[in-house]
A and B are shown apart, each in its own frame.
Chain A
């Protein structure tokens, strides 16, 4: 079963608005990463946050991690049409060498 589950599955907002998507996981993690995928192409790494970190920023992106709730959120501020993509969270755990991927959130930015 998947470790990370994104919520919502799909999100449609107006350009300029903020977009928030969430990722929940089941077991303790070493780190959590967010990736973006544009229309069936390769994934692009956005942010990696480690288990001892609570918040990280990168440009218009803000990621928070709450290990007590086993959840993370990705906030995209002032969204643009180019942000239209699927966003995936992936978790790294001690018990498994590989990343475990969620099913993704499909984000649509309407002009």
Chain B
């Protein structure tokens, strides 16, 4: 099976702009989670989608949003970009269907590196 794919791999934006990142999970995986990774804060959970519904959400402002499509592909949107949003954004999928899917083995994509100038 193909792994988790993320597009684009690199992105440069300026403050105030918005950005949309895309993630395609492993075929058959319905749980998709998003993480932000920075040197200072480490790996921070953004949200999880399952069957097109946001099932869990981390402590990020409303500028961060996402959605999931019927084919389980997911997008993440960040509006009104700030310098502090510069990070590696990782998407992960899981085959488990339970509410604790995120606690099972996560399969990560290569990430999208976002630089906000």
Contacts and interface: CB of A to CB of B under 8 A. Distances in A.
Contact of A98 (B56, B107, B113): B56
Closest CB pairs A-B (n = 6): A92-B103, A42-B108, A101-B43, A43-B108, A42-B110, A98-B45
B76 to A, nearest CB: 15
Main SS at interface, chain A:
strand
Given A40-B113, A41-B111, A97 B106 contact: no
B62 to A, nearest CB: 19
A44 interface: yes
A99 B108 contact: no
Interface core residue of B88, B99, B100 (most chain A CB under 10 Å)? B100
Contacts of A44: 108
Interface in A38-55: 40-45, 48
Nearest to B46: A98
B103 A97 contact: yes
B110 A98 contact: no
Given A42-B4, A42-B90, A97 B110 contact: no
Interface residues of A, number: 21
Contacts of B33: 98
Nearest to A100: B45
B107 to A, nearest CB: 7
Nearest to A97: B56
Given A30-B103, A31-B103, A43-B90, 8 more contacts: A40-B88, A40-B113, A42-B108, A45-B105, A48-B104, A92-B104, A97-B56, A103-B42
Given A92-B100, A97-B56, A98-B58, A45 B107 contact: yes
B25 to A, nearest CB: 13
A103 B44 CA distance: 10
Nearest to A41: B110
22 contacts: A2-B42, A30-B100, A33-B106, A35-B106, A35-B108, A41-B111, A42-B90, A42-B110, A43-B108, A45-B105, A45-B106, A88-B43, A92-B100, A97-B99, A97-B100, A97-B103, A98-B45, A98-B58, A98-B102, A98-B103, A99-B103, A101-B42
